[in-house]
């Protein structure tokens, strides 16, 4: 039944910030998934006795790709696959299943927060036994393999029924179909004070969770409405749909518009949250109030003692360089380790494995802890609910008190999308070359303290990664520039702006950053070079 099929390489199978991500139209080409998967299998080498976890966020082509992966894994000698029922599994749940079963790795079929459907994006994230996504050293090898691939192996059998729980054997490989929600829920119950949160809802607390028609729907229904007793209807858009019902499942102020409008209306609930396509991102809202992900990480870290799983102490905390410095001040106050890494969750994995950090986060609506090796959307929501239950305070009060204590980092990200790749690359190169001349200069009343590329030296594996360019001002303000590594076409230039104030705590972020934005544009020449005078997305 095992067939060896001849193939020719695709030249674009390089993984980005988080796995391979391409337009669905590209991925559905014959042999596209096959080439990529065979390249991974080839780089792993001997697959005998190995177990992998497989699932996805249910987007268009999830069902087809998963069948290919099963048949190819069997043909390549994999011992066992643990698969989410009907092919579903969120990214954080997948990480947990890998760790819990001591599996050798896993594949989550998702393009995360990118739109789905035939005209949207598809993707494959590959994790190793750490439960986190593979380091660049391995993805580089896989990319080389994709450029040389000549054949792949597949088992010639009918599609496998993934709807019934239990174990079966196909082509000499064991398949175990599991409920993707169960283990995850048990893990959350071990971390948080569910009875305190339950009481909160019994006392009339209201929430709205927007699953954005993506994978967290079933998790959220079970946890928030089922176990914690949030009123029916608290979880919306909970049916995972292949095209996410046309939504762009990125939980931010722009794309989670329905939730944002509701939370800023008269009818607003006490608490609002949304997750992305594969359940690793989160957005936190109070009544008429938005918490930036950078602040959320700082507040979570500052409140670790309120949470059962962390109350006895935490290791350090880490953030991506582009994330605001809010959490740095919290780390100093608690005298815990503090790390700044490149963008992408995989850079946190070594720090967690070596007990250097417990919490980590990114400005891109990612927050998590060492309970798994991916960011975790529902975990972040439960953390906030637990803080609220323990303190009796609102989201807004918790955040404002945090600013009182530590000062406030005003923070906004500007994305310039669909830029010609050659223009974007040249812009970044010219910008980098210019940075050394900037220190000491005054622009718009701000003095530049230092400027340069962000280079990260991993303290565990000693690899070195360059990611983005940073300009720092003498008052603590910062500009970070980088190119996105998750897009499926053209280039996106991200510009991250931050300004700190110890005393001015209630200003409008965009107003506070007016001058810094002007400086960021003048130095990079983004308007002149891209023709864009306004960012496409501001979050
Ligand atoms: C984006 C985010 C980054 C996140 C990644 C995966 O990557 O900026 O923080 O880890 O998605 O969710 P980017 O497109 O900027 O490379
Ligand atoms: Zn995601």
Q: Which residues contact 471 (CB under 8 A, 6 or more apart)?
A: 435, 438, 448, 450, 451, 478, 479, 480, 519, 520, 523
Q: What CATH number is given for 184-406 in this structure?
A: 3.40.120.10
Protein residue whose Cα sits closest to atom 2 of ligand 1: 364
State how beta strands 173-178 and 166-170 pair: antiparallel
Q: What is the pLDDT along the chain (539 residues), one digit of tens a residue?
A: 999 999 999 999 999 888 999 999 999 999 999 999 999 999 999 999 999 999 999 999 999 999 999 999 999 999 999 999 999 999 999 999 999 999 999 999 999 999 999 999 999 999 999 999 999 999 999 999 999 999 999 999 999 999 999 999 999 999 999 999 999 999 999 999 999 999 999 999 999 999 999 999 999 999 999 999 999 999 999 999 999 999 999 999 999 999 999 999 999 999 999 999 999 999 999 999 999 999 999 999 999 999 999 999 999 999 999 999 999 999 999 999 999 999 999 999 999 999 999 999 999 999 999 999 999 999 999 999 999 999 999 999 999 999 999 999 999 999 999 999 999 999 999 999 999 999 999 999 999 999 999 999 999 999 999 999 999 999 999 999 999 988 777 999 999 999 999 999 999 999 999 999 999 999 999 999 999 999 999 99
Q: Which residues contact 101 (CB under 8 A, 6 or more apart)?
A: 51, 53, 82
Beta strands in 115-222 (DSSP E): 121-128, 151-155, 166-170, 173-178, 207-210
Q: Domain coordinates of the chain in residue numbers?
A: 2-180, 184-406, 408-538
Query: What element of type H or E holds 462?
Result: none
Distance between CA atoms of residues 87 and 145, nearest Å:
27
Distance between CA atoms of residues 394 and 161, nearest Å:
46
Ligand 1 nearest atom to the CA of residue 281, by list position: 12
Residue 112 appears among annotated catalytic residues: yes
| Entry field: residues in the chain | 539
> Looking only at Cα atoms, what is the longest distance across the chain?
72
Q: Is the CB of 112 under 6 A from ligand 1?
A: yes
Q: What percent of the residues of the chain are helix, what percent strand, and what percent coil, each to the nearest 5?
A: 35, 30, 35
Asked if 216 and 377 count as a contact pair (C-beta separation under 8 A), the reply is yes
How many angstroms separate the Cα of 113 from the Cα of each of 120, 211, 280, 281, 366? Answer: 11, 12, 9, 8, 11
Closest ligand to residue 377's CA: 2
Distance between CA atoms of residues 325 and 361, nearest Å:
11
**pLDDT score for 240:** 96
Indicate the burial class of 36 (C-beta count within 10 angstroms; 0-12, 13-18, 19 or more). buried
Q: Is the CB of 146 under 6 A from ligand 1?
A: no
Protein residue whose Cα sits closest to atom 11 of ligand 1: 486
Tokens of 39: 């390249």
Q: Among 189, 215, 185, 191, which residue's Cα sits nearest to residue 59? A: 215
Total Cβ atoms within 10 A of residue 442:
10
Q: Among 104, 106, 74, which residue's Cα sits nearest to residue 89? A: 106
Task: For tokens 């997750």, name the residue.
Answer: 275
Compute the distance from residue 464 Cα to the ligand 2 centre, in Å.
Answer: 25
Query: What is the third-level CATH fold of 2-180?
Result: Alpha-D-Glucose-1,6-Bisphosphate; Chain A, domain 3 (3.40.120)
Asked if 326 and 293 count as a contact pair (C-beta separation under 8 A), the reply is no
Tokens of 327: 């959490």
Ligand 1 nearest atom to the CA of residue 487, by list position: 14
Tokens of 179: 């409920």
Total Cβ atoms within 10 A of residue 420:
14
Q: Which residues contact 467 (CB under 8 A, 6 or more apart)?
A: 321, 342, 343, 344, 454, 456, 482
**pLDDT score for 75:** 98
Region class of 288: left (phi > 0), else alpha (psi between -120 and 50), else beta? left
Total Cβ atoms within 10 A of residue 440:
10
Task: For tokens 């947990």, name the residue.
Answer: 96
Closest ligand to residue 346's CA: 1
**pLDDT score for 486:** 81
Protein residue whose Cα sits closest to atom 6 of ligand 1: 18
Compute the distance from residue 403 Cα to the ligand 2 centre, in Å.
Answer: 28
Q: Is the CB of 477 under 6 A from ligand 1?
A: no
Q: Is the CB of 537 under 6 A from ligand 1?
A: no
Distance between CA atoms of residues 401 and 388, nearest Å:
13
Indicate if 184-406 has the same CATH topology as 2-180. Answer: yes
Protein residue whose Cα sits closest to atom 15 of ligand 1: 484
Ligand 1 nearest atom to the CA of residue 343, by list position: 9
Q: Which residues make beta-bridge pairs with 151?
A: 6
Compute the distance from residue 323 Cα to the ligand 1 centre, in Å.
Answer: 11
Q: Among 29, 26, 93, which residue's Cα sits nearest to residue 58? A: 93
Distance between CA atoms of residues 509 and 497, nearest Å:
10
Compute the distance from residue 200 Cα to the ligand 2 centre, in Å.
Answer: 29
Domain 408-538 has CATH 1.10.260.40: no
Out of 24, 90, 110, 112, the active site residue is: 112
Q: Is the CB of 364 under 6 A from ligand 1?
A: yes
Which of the listed residues 14, 17, 92, 133 should we mutate to test ligand 1's pocket, taking the one with most ligand atoms within 8 A of CB?
Answer: 17
């Amino acid at each position: 039944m095992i067939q060896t099929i001849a193939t020719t390489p695709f030249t674009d199978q390089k993984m980005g910030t988080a796995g391979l991500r391409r337009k669905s139209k590209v991925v559905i080409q014959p042999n596209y998934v096959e080439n990529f998967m065979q390249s991974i299998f080839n780089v792993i080498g001997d697959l005998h006795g190995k177990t992998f976890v497989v699932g996805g966020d249910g987007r268009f082509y999830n069902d087809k790709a998963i069948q290919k992966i099963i048949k190819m894994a069997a043909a390549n000698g994999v011992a066992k696959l643990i698969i989410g029922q009907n092919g579903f599994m969120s990214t954080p749940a997948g990480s947990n299943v890998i760790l819990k079963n001591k599996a050798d790795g896993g594949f989550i079929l998702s393009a995360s927060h990118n739109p789905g459907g035939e005209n949207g994006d598809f993707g494959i994230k590959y994790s190793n036994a750490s439960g986190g996504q593979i380091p660049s050293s391995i993805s580089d090898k896989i990319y080389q393999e994709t450029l040389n691939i000549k054949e792949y192996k597949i088992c010639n059998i009918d599609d496998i029924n993934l709807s019934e729980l239990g174990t079966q054997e196909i082509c000499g490989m064991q398949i175990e179909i599991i409920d993707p929600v169960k283990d995850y829920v048990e893990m959350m119950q071990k971390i948080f004070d569910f009875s305190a949160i339950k009481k909160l809802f019994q006392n009339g607390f209201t929430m709205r969770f927007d699953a954005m028609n993506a994978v967290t729907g079933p998790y959220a229904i079970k946890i928030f409405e089922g176990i914690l007793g949030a009123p029916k209807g608290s979880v919306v858009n909970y049916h995972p749909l292949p095209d996410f019902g046309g939504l762009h499942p990125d939980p931010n102020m722009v794309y989670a518009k329905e939730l944002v409008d509701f939370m800023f209306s008269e009818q607003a609930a006490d608490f609002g949250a949304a997750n992305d396509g594969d359940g690793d991102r989160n957005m936190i809202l109070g009544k008429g109030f938005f918490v930036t992900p950078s602040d959320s990480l700082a507040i979570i870290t500052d409140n670790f003692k309120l949470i059962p799983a962390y109350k006895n102490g935490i290791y350090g905390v880490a953030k991506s360089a582009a994330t605001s410095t809010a959490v740095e001040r919290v780390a100093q106050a608690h005298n815990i380790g503090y790390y700044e890494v490149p963008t992408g969750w995989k850079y946190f994995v070594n720090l967690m494995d070596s007990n250097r950090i417990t919490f980590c986060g990114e400005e891109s609506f990612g927050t998590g802890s060492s309970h798994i090796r991916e960011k975790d959307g529902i975990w972040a929501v439960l953390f906030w609910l637990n803080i609220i239950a323990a303190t009796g305070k609102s989201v807004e009060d918790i955040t404002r008190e945090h600013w009182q204590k530590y000062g406030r980092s005003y923070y906004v990200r500007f994305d310039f999308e669909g830029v010609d790749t050659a223009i974007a690359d040249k812009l970044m190169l010219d910008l980098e070359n210019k940075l050394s001349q900037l220190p000491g200069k005054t622009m718009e009343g701000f003095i530049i303290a230092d400027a340069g590329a962000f280079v990260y030296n991993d303290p565990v594996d000693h690899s070195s990664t360059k990611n983005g360019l940073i300009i720092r001002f003498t008052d603590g303000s910062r500009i970070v520039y980088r190119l996105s590594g998750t897009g499926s076409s053209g280039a996106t230039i991200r510009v991250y702006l931050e300004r700190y104030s110890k005393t001015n705590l209630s200003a409008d972020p965009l107003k506070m950053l007016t001058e810094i934005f002007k400086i960021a544009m003048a130095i990079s020449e983004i308007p002149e070079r891209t023709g864009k005078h306004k960012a496409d997305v501001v979050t």
